[in-house]
Amino acid sequence: MASTDATPRTVAPAPSAPGRRPARRSRRRGSRAVAIAFLLPALAVNLLVIGGPGASSFFYALTDWDGFTTPSFTGLENVTRLVADSNFWNAISHNAIYLLTFITVPMAMGLGAAFMLSRIRRGTAPLRVIYFVPYLFASVVTAQVWKNLLSPSSGIASALNKIGITALDDVFFFGDTRLALFSVMAVDVWQFWGFLVVLFLAAMQGIDQSRFEAARIDGANAWHEFWHIALPGIRPTLTFAFMIISLWSLLTFNFVFVLTGGGPAGSSDVVALLVNRVAFEQLQAGYATAIALAMSFLGALLLVIFHFIRRGEEEGL
């Protein structure tokens, strides 16, 4: 604090309003430049990484760009190709399954656990920590743990062998077209759901306790308290959770990439993997950009939907 040690004026008396006016106006003009200077580092990095390349996507999506040579404009060719591309529909259908699974399974688990945690007398804090720990794991490590556990030749299968059960010996959780996607989602749920517990518990603890007491006096059971008080009481948080889960489901990459690579035979492929493959293995950067944009439009659509839901909530309150 170089400016304050020179004089004892640190605690300045409030200056009188009339005397300050002219000074303030002249400062205003300069202050706009200062404000922009403060925004500059963030703005520069943003334009370089997100804004510029993001905007150029809208151009590249309409070209036959390979990433290196000069692209030539191909109009809507990429769009018609996308509509007819079975790989795209295959991948996006898995994103849809991901979305539906994640807005139900971890959601129900998170809500249930958070509600019970909010009602017990002792142990809330340590249990919350236990549920949260997997969320801190790097997905590469989580993937490895579950690969070991679910491998036909080690982990659970081989432990069951010791007691004479061989049922899991030829179940390839990540190598069977019928199981791969669900196995990947199960691993993802294990890592992620504790985040929802923390989110919902914090919201539920903010509900006025007297509402629960009043309901109890009226003869409400636990289910009633959950359904009629706890859930409505955390509605904004619920909407937020639905929103981020939906958006994340469109983006999901890590566990599919590490556990199955989208296979076998595309049975667990998702759009984020498809984009990477088309762009960086097949070097069809223009088409990959078109796929990515289609996905971003879906994300934007979800955002708009949730925006209206939230506005409806605010008006309803």
Partner 1 sequence: MSALASTDRGTTAVPRASGGLRRTPLSYTVLGLVAAYSLVPVLMLVFNSLKSDLELGRNPLGPPQNPRLENFTEAWVQGSLGRGMLNSAIIVLGTVVGVWICAGLAAYALARLDVPFKGGIATYLFLVISLPVQIFLVPLFFLWSRLGLTDTLQGLIIIYVAINTPFATLLLRSFLVAIPKEIDEAARIDGANELQTAVRVVLPLARPGFLTVGIVVGLAAYNELLFAVTFISEPSTLPIATAYLNFSQGFTQQYGLLNAAGVIMVVPVLVMFVLMQKKFISGLAAGGVKG
Ranges within 160-189 binding partner 1 (CB under 8 A) = none
289 forms part of the interface with partner 1 (CB under 8 A): yes
Q: How many residues lie near partner 1 (CB under 8 A)?
A: 115
Q: What is the DSSP letter of 5?
A: S
Q: What burial class does residue 133 get, using C-beta atoms within 10 Å of its C-beta: 0-12 exposed, 13-18 middle, 19+ buried?
A: exposed
Sign of the CA dihedral 106, 107, 110, 116?
negative
Binders of partner 1 among residues 98 to 127 (CB under 8 A) are 108-109, 112-113, 115-117, 119-121, 123, 127
97 forms part of the interface with partner 1 (CB under 8 A): no
Smallest gap from residue 83 Cβ to partner 1 (A): 18
Beta bridge pairs of residue 63:
73
Per CB under 8 A, the segment of 48-56, 78-86, 170-178, 309-317 that binds partner 1 is: 48-56
Out of 78, 90, 101, 254, which residue is the one contacting partner 1 (CB under 8 A)?
254
Per CB under 8 A, the segment of 43-51, 75-83, 85-93, 168-176 that binds partner 1 is: 43-51
17 forms part of the interface with partner 1 (CB under 8 A): no
Out of 26, 48, 80, 282, which residue is the one contacting partner 1 (CB under 8 A)?
48
Out of 88, 98, 173, 195, which residue is the one contacting partner 1 (CB under 8 A)?
195
Name the residue among 113, 186, 99, 178 with its Cα closest to residue 145.
186
Q: b/e for 219-228, b at 16 or more Cβ within 10 A? A: ebeeeebbee
308 forms part of the interface with partner 1 (CB under 8 A): no
Distances (CA, A) of 237 to 198, 207, 231: 11, 12, 10
Name the residue among 166, 317, 298 with its Cα closest to residue 232.
317
